[in-house]
Chain A
């Protein structure tokens, strides 16, 4: 399989803190990848580099063999990368339908964008709140609206940063099947903490720790790895001193 996204030696430093440390990662076309790791492991910073919100200190990012390192966010988005951020980032004063339409309209003409909007609203299951202003919705609904808005422009790669945070059990299982369904058309990277959820969707799992990739393997292997368990329990067998700083 060919690589759709490839980072090499990607590094992000803030003063003395190295939040992302020489990360080499490869996502293939159509892949569904899970990213896990304790808080402060550098996952969100890594994504901000990928989407152009931060200019990385060192290293390169390639999208389908095009070097996009240091590009503006909108230009990277136009190359087919969409992100659902950790804290929902939505247009509060705008209706759900308009929000999705604005996104679809970037790629498609007026008529096609309108039909795509209805299609996406149905797929995500939020057609009944389509007329409401986003600012009035619950946290879980806002997550779904953001997802719908991102999906509407048909990005090749969708990054989901903790998509189920603040969701009910029912919403979470709906999101899991949604992600599987989305994966039929898009490559997806998901960050999650809920192991049950990860097991239900993922094939390959990458574990982030202290800005680096600790391990990357099939989901069963990662789940049974003793180092991973220690990282999540807070014991740190690799760099104990630095671990306290990151926490």
Chain B
């Protein structure tokens, strides 16, 4: 019991404190534009967390996490425009990507498709969605009252309102606080999953699929469930993103999918906090690189990924904690 306390409830308590501090301090300290930007960061952090769970603990390298992100955003925008009230749109934005992940995952895992091919197929599915959404310009592509808008996306994505009262739209600082709570909840859910029997089996499947199977576990089912949970989290991330920017086909783009993988690998595969930190640091870096004259942010991101793979194959957080631990031992 003591171990579980140390490895599960301790970090959760720390995360709650950090989230409270962010909610209390940042909205008063930051300009409106910076706060909206911070909300984008938080939504991306949820996205990073979703892949950290699916890849770092489930061993499933999904090249298409952006597909669920985009689906979440679009579902939210379309549902909110049609319903008028965003109360129903939020659960839909989680449910639709989760169902899509369930369907895709069923196809992948029950077909026993191997790792590399899994990467190819998730990449391809994302690309199909990207191309499809891009081609939805014109009046024939409307769902209810929501035009999908093709290349331009849906610029009039409505922001969240107080549940049940569609005239009371939330302010950016309130949306920021909600996003931080969303991130915190996702983190707690992930921690509790990993501490449960189900989570242990998921990790066991990652470690040795055959052994898990020979012990009587249907590995396909465990992979499918963790993949679906990851899809749901990515959908939530897309919903928050839609709230601070607006939805457009770039949400499905390969460079998004790529960035998510970069955050996770730079932050540290097999940790939850590492990718979240990696995500926020790298986004700050990308933003900063974007302001530099004559330097392309892609160059910076790409170079970071190459160096991370070559020099820090374990990622930032495990490398740092490893160094600290070694320092303590001496």
Contact = CB atoms under 8 A, between A and B. Distances in A.
Contacts of A106: 215-217
A77 B217 CA distance: 8
B72 to A, nearest CB: 31
Given A89-B208, A91-B207, A91-B208, A103 B200 contact: no
A203 interface: no
A92 B230 CA distance: 25
B129 to A, nearest CB: 32
Contacts of A110: 197
B214 interface: yes
Interface in B224-239: none
User: Which of B197, B201, B211 counts the most chain A CB atoms within 10 A?
Assistant: B211
Contacts of A93: 203, 206-207
A91 B218 contact: no
Interface in A70-118: 72-75, 77-78, 82-83, 85, 89-94, 98-99, 101-103, 105-106, 110
Contact of B214 (A73, A94, A98, A105): A73
Given A93-B203, A93-B207, A153 B215 contact: yes
Given A98-B200, A102-B204, A89 B215 contact: no
A181 to B, nearest CB: 21
B22 interface: no
A150 interface: yes
Interface string B107-150: 00000000000000000000000000000000000000000000
Contacts of B211: 89-91, 149
A73 B213 contact: yes
User: Which of A53, A106, A150 counts the most chain B CB atoms within 10 A?
Assistant: A106
A102 B208 contact: no
B216 A153 contact: yes
Nearest to A79: B216
Given A89-B208, A93-B207, A72 B218 contact: yes
B207 A92 contact: yes
A77 B207 contact: no
Interface residues of B, number: 18
Contact of B215 (A53, A92, A98, A103): A103
Interface of A: 51, 53, 72-75, 77-78, 82-83, 85, 89-94, 98-99, 101-103, 105-106, 110, 149-150, 153
A102 B205 CA distance: 11
A74 B200 contact: no
B202 to A, nearest CB: 10
B190 interface: no
Contacts of B213: 72-74, 77
A103 B204 CA distance: 10
B197 A74 contact: no
Given A98-B200, A105-B197, A92 B208 contact: yes
B215 A90 contact: no
User: Which of A75, A77, A102, A149 counts the most chain B CB atoms within 10 A?
Assistant: A102
B210 interface: yes
A91 B214 CA distance: 12
B219 interface: yes
Contact of B216 (A77, A91, A98): A77
A92 B203 CA distance: 11
A242 B157 CA distance: 74
Contacts of B201: 102
Contacts of A98: 200
A91 B204 contact: yes
A74 B204 contact: no
Nearest to B203: A94
Nearest to B198: A105
A101 B212 CA distance: 12
A96 to B, nearest CB: 13
24 contacts: A53-B210, A73-B210, A74-B213, A74-B218, A77-B215, A78-B216, A82-B215, A83-B214, A85-B214, A89-B214, A90-B208, A92-B207, A92-B208, A93-B206, A99-B204, A102-B200, A102-B204, A102-B212, A102-B215, A105-B200, A106-B217, A149-B211, A150-B214, A150-B215
Contact of B210 (A89, A99, A103): A89
Interface in B77-117: none
Nearest to A84: B214
A140 B211 CA distance: 18
Contacts of B210: 53, 73, 89
A105 B200 CA distance: 10
A51 B211 CA distance: 11
A103 B197 CA distance: 10
A162 to B, nearest CB: 16
Contacts of A83: 214
